[in-house]
Amino acid sequence: MPREPSPDIHADRIAALNDAEEKADGAYVLYVMEASMRSRMNHALELAAQHANRLGKRLLVLYPLVGDTFGAHRRQKHFMLQGVGPLRDKLTARRIRFAVVEGGMAETALRYAEDACRVVLDAGYLRDHRAWRDEVGNEAEVPVEEVESDVVVPVGTASDKKEHAARTIRPKIHKRLDDFLVALEPTELEKDATTMGIPDDEVDLSSDAKIGEALDRLGFGEGGVPPVPLFRGGEDAGEEMLERFLSTANGVYSDHRNQPQTDDVSHMSKYLHFGNLSPIRIALAARDKLSGDDRDDFLEELIVRRELTHNFVHFEEDYDKFSQLPAFARETLDEHRDDEREHVYTRQQLEDADTHDPYWNAAQRELVHTGYMHNYMRMYWGKKILEWTNTPEYGFETTLYLNNKYFLDGRDPNSFANVAWVYGQHDRGWTEREIFGKVRYMNRNGLERKAKPKAYVEKVDRLVEEAEQRRVG
């Protein structure tokens, strides 16, 4: 029978994907790592370690390296793989065998599950991520468990339905925070797995050159979206970024988080997207080191706002389609679809930052050259695409296309929910206007009134120059 969860890992984090019997003569416990690419505060990893100790087995952790990774470009894949070498060293120090092997997610998991006692998976929330995990659960002949470690409160525990807005999910999350906002200590492995002779098809990702060779081999050619030189992926880089933020955020974060000309932001979204850092680790550190509005505002964004997006993609099957928008948004945008537009741009013009608006162009350039865009400018950027495209449906598709192509944290629950927000999701009706109807509106005058966009343009010019110098260097 499956083991009862450890007191350190709340039972609500663990879901059985089948009812297979544990294989006592299996050679190892297998953890297939995809969402939680880290060695610390990883509930899936620790559950697998506890299973290994209980069974007197070794622990094998695999990351399947696949070419077509659900729409990823070379940029995102390169950032993710930068953390693999250091991650292997950390797991090796814990007596865990970690390997990257080429192959599809489900295919690789099932192949190595044949010799396993049982299988642990970290949780995925998007359609493709759920599909391969379900396939493993359905076809494996040993128990398969999925563990939620990349949200504070498990999605199904926080709510049993698609929530309308942050205000509706906030009290539900706060009610359970004390149960789940708890540090997780590493499990000491009793058996050393580092000398295991398998797998024999391991991929070497020990340097940027090796990463580049692997990406070329997998079809992520240099002609695609290039890596960004201003940010480095991985657990250590994420920890350094977190420490930098926490050391400077008190007294400025709350006031500056909507000021795009500043850089008083955490930059945690990309590290959360790739599972390099646990949201629990970040929240506990922020609660300890920040105070007042800086602490409260940051935790609101990290926990409530972020986990609203996970609720969205979990309960909304069509999270990436225009049809999922609230009825009021679809109806009002349809009523105004024939309104005259002063400016209409093609997708290529937008991608090339070729518009009349220097502020919008700066935002697009920041995205293309750095893989990041200040959150306040993300809102302005998205609203203008709605205004400047010939139909709301085409605007929606274009916003999602640019978002997922260039952002390091693209293809994330945050991405799909934030793009949908531009078009009315998780929002209410506002004063009716041309083109937007009752969907929330943003304009250049408001941007100039609330922030300093000219200074933002100058900041982006510096960032682009620095990025180009580093790329050449």
pLDDT tens, residue order, the chain (473 aa):
334 444 589 999 999 999 999 999 999 999 999 999 999 999 999 999 999 999 999 999 999 998 766 678 999 999 999 999 999 999 999 999 999 999 999 999 999 999 999 999 999 999 999 999 999 999 999 999 999 999 999 999 999 999 999 999 999 999 999 999 999 999 999 999 999 988 778 999 999 999 999 999 988 876 679 999 999 999 999 999 999 999 999 999 999 999 999 999 999 999 999 999 999 999 999 999 999 999 999 999 999 999 999 999 999 999 999 999 999 999 999 999 999 999 999 999 999 999 999 999 999 999 999 999 999 999 999 999 999 999 999 999 999 999 999 999 999 999 999 999 999 999 999 999 999 999 999 999 999 999 999 999 999 999 999 999 998 76
Would you state the pLDDT for residue 220?
85
**pLDDT score of 71:** 75
Strand order in the sheet with 14-16: 14-16, 144-147, 116-122, 28-32, 58-65, 97-102
Between CA 239 and CA 247, with CA 241 as vertex, the angle to 5 degrees is: 100
Report pLDDT for 438: 98
* Span between the terminal Cα atoms of the chain, in Å: 57
Residue 1: per-residue pLDDT:
34
CATH class of 322-463: mainly alpha
pLDDT, position 2: 37
Q: Do residues 110 and 140 make contact, with C-beta atoms less than 8 angstroms apart?
A: yes
Q: From CA 215, how far away is CA 10, in angstroms rounded? A: 37
Beta strands in 123-229 (DSSP E): 144-147
Q: What is the pLDDT of residue 69?
A: 66
Q: How many CB atoms lie within 10 A of CB 68?
A: 11
Cis peptide before 392 (omega within 30 of 0): no
How far apart are alpha carbons 78 and 227 in whole angstroms?
6
Give the closest residue to 26 by CA, choosing from 198, 221, 168, 160. Answer: 198
- Look at the chain and count its residues: 473
Burial 149-158 (b: 16+ CB within 10 A, else e): bbbbbbbebb
